[in-house]
């Protein structure tokens, strides 16, 4: 739904443009980026005390916190899954398995030969990345204080995180189900100090049947593992106490130390092909949120940036083409399914119409009786049906408002610090 306030769109595009200056003019980037964030933070802080929907934000705090915990849990599950699919086959498999054929990569190489060089340079440019899409959503959610999007902002954020959590869990289930070779065969050996040999599960259920067509045919016929397991080195098994069940999932090595927590802290993107792309899921959810909450030309431009980001993921061999395509339609479908948490539609109008239907017969009788006072009272009931309920005391609302403003400014400062290097 387009908004009359165009300031949010200009701020968003300014943020992306100023951040791209790191590649064009690092000196100007160093001057303009802190100034831009300072202006945005001060504007939000000055506007927040006059925000009219703090009671609505307060009621959205619990769904927000629940969605936050759900998303963090999903990210932990995904981190465990990423480590598992990388470690279970061993580094020898990663270095020897060639990438899958990808017609999307072929198309981009063909276009590099045919398109003008300036167009190819634009396609190659690092215009937008994961941290940009995350910050664009943060700006969208905070813009409720300027009435740029429909309140509550915490409700919009809760929907975003809840949808993200579902998408991450579905992603983990997908890439764990069938392990695909990386688009970058050298990645695992550089980033993961996991054993070179496969896990005992793989030694028994995969390696004897990996390339022998006769063995595969016999396995299909008897439907039981039958081959003799080859000789492999033993597994390192540290004492993790109650967390020993993670040993077979994470496959630690002596060089990584004896703490499972320290090992998980090093978790990052995987070195298998992780179907579907997590970066593209974030980008699509951000674009969907902008389209529904704000609309207009800014949303169209963000979708163009999503497509630019997708072709870069393929071009730079971070993902196969199928990973980006699946992430786009999964993100769109998931966002459509979670409208019950927050929606840009005007719910007050629906409530007023429902209340009007409820009092319609009484209103007709009052009109027949020429009872003006009764008509006035019924119309006030209809009007109140669309107003926000104020179930909290004023001091609680102001305490919540102050806490939210403080946390918001801290988040902006952390975001500026943590994403300053891309």
What integer pLDDT is reported at residue 37 of this predicted model?
A: 82
Higher pLDDT, 358 or 107: 107
Q: Which residue, 11, 85, 3, 1, is CA-closest to 43?
A: 11
For 22-58, what is each residue's pLDDT tens digit? 888 889 988 898 888 888 888 887 887 788 888 888 8
Say if CB 176 and CB 272 are below 8 A apart: no
Task: Report how far residue 293's alpha carbon sits from residue 63's, in angstroms, rounded to the nearest whole number.
Answer: 19
In the numeric block, which tokens belong to residue 325? 């395509």
Please, are residues 15 and 36 in contact by the beta-carbon 8 Å criterion? yes
User: Across 169-275, where does the E strand assignment appear?
Assistant: none
Q: Which of 305, 295, 412, 317 lies closest to 20 in space, CA to CA?
A: 305
Write down the pLDDT at residue 409: 67
What is the predicted pLDDT for the residue at 190?
84
Does residue 66 have a pLDDT over 90?
Answer: yes
Hunting for tokens 């409820």 — which residue is that? 358
b/e code 14-50 from CB counts within 10 Å (16+ = b):
ebbebbbbbeeeeeebeebbeebbeebbeebeebbee
Predicted local confidence at residue 393, as pLDDT: 62
CA distance 55 to 61: 10
Q: Model confidence at 420, in pLDDT bands (50, 70, 90)?
A: very low
Q: Shortest CA distance to 269 belongs to which of 175, 137, 128, 158?
A: 175
pLDDT digits (tens, 9 = 90+) for 90-99: 899 998 889 9
* Backbone torsions φ then ψ of 152, nearest 5 degrees: -95, 145
Most confident of 126-135, 283-292, 411-420: 283-292
Write the DSSP symbol of residue 235: P
According to the per-residue pLDDT averaged within each range, which of 43-47, 131-135, 342-346, 348-352 is highest? Answer: 131-135
Q: So what's the pLDDT on residue 158?
A: 93
Give the pLDDT confidence score for residue 30 in this predicted structure. 86
Count of alpha carbons within 13 angstroms of residue 179, beta-carbon side: 18
Residue 176 has pLDDT above 60, yes or no: yes
- The residue among 323 and 264 whose pLDDT is bigger is 323
* pLDDT for the residue numbered 421: 43
388 against 81, higher pLDDT: 81
Rounded distance between C-alpha atoms, residue 193 and residue 251, angstroms: 10
Q: Is 348's pLDDT higher than 70? A: no
Q: What is the dihedral of CA 281, 285, 291, 292, to 10 degrees?
A: 150
In terms of average pLDDT, the best of 191-205, 244-258, 387-401 is: 191-205
Using a 10 angstrom Cβ sphere, with 0-12 exposed, 13-18 middle and 19 or more buried, the burial of residue 254 is exposed
Q: What is the mean pLDDT of the chain?
A: 84
Q: What is the pLDDT of residues 287-340, one digit of tens each?
A: 999 999 888 888 999 999 999 999 999 999 999 999 999 999 999 999 999 988
Is residue 2's pLDDT more than 50?
no
The structure tokens 């990663």 sit at 94
Residue of 312, 415, 390, 413 lying closest to 57 (CA atoms): 390
- Cite the DSSP H helix spans in 50-142: 54-59, 61-87, 91-96, 103-114, 117-124, 130-142
The angle, 0 to 180 degrees and rounded to 10, between the axes of the packed helices 296-315 and 278-293 is 170
Q: In sequence order, what are the residues at sequence separation of 6 or more whose Cβ sits closer than 8 angstroms to the Cβ of residue 112?
A: 120
> pTM to 2 decimals?
0.85
Cross-strand bridge partners of residue 313: none
Question: Helix (H, G, I), strand (E, B), or coil: what is residue 273?
Answer: strand
Q: How far apart are CA 360 and CA 238, in angstroms?
A: 73
Whether the predicted pLDDT of 112 surpasses 80: yes
């Amino acid at each position: 739904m387009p908004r009359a306030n165009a300031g949010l769109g200009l701020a968003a595009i300014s943020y992306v443009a100023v951040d791209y200056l790191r590649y064009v003019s690092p000196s100007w980037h160093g001057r303009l980026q802190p100034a831009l964030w300072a202006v945005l933070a001060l504007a939000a802080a000055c506007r927040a005390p006059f925000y009219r929907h703090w009671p609505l934000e307060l009621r959205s705090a619990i769904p927000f916190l629940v969605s936050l915990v759900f998303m963090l849990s999903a990210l932990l599950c995904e981190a465990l899954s990423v480590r598992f699919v990388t470690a279970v086959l061993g580094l020898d498999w990663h270095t020897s398995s060639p990438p899958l054929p990808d017609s999307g990569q072929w198309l981009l190489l063909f276009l590099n030969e045919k398109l003008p060089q300036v167009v190819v340079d634009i396609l190659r440019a690092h215009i937008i990345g994961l941290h940009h899409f995350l910050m664009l959503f943060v700006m969208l959610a905070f813009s409720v204080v300027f009435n740029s999007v429909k309140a509550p902002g915490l409700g919009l954020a809760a929907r975003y995180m809840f949808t993200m959590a579902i998408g991450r869990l579905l992603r983990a289930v997908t890439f764990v189900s069938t392990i695909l070779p990386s688009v970058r065969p050298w990645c695992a050996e550089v980033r993961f100090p996991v054993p070179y040999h496969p896990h005992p599960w793989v030694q028994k259920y995969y390696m004897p049947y990996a390339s022998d067509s006769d063995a595969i045919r016999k396995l299909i016929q008897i439907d039981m593992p039958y081959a003799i397991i080859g000789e492999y080195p033993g597994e390192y098994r540290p004492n993790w106490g109650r967390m020993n069940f993670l040993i077979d999932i994470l496959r630690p090595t002596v060089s990584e130390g004896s703490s499972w927590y320290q090992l998980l802290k090093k978790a990052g993107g995987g070195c298998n092909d992780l179907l579907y792309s997590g970066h593209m899921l974030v980008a699509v959810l951000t674009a969907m949120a902008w389209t529904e909450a704000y609309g207009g030309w800014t949303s169209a431009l963000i979708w163009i940036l999503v497509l630019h980001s997708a072709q870069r993921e393929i071009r730079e061999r971070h993902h196969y083409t199928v990973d980006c395509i699946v992430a786009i339609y999964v993100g769109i479908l998931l966002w459509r399914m979670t409208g019950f948490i927050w929606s840009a539609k005007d719910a007050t109008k629906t409530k007023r119409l429902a209340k009007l239907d409820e009092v319609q017969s009484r209103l007709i009788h009052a009109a027949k009786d020429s009872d003006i006072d009764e008509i006035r009272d019924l119309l006030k009931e209809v009007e109140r049906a669309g107003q926000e309920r104020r179930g909290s005391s004023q001091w609680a609302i102001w305490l919540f408002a102050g806490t939210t403003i403080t946390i918001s400014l801290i988040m902006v400062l952390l975001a500026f610090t943590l994403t300053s290097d891309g």
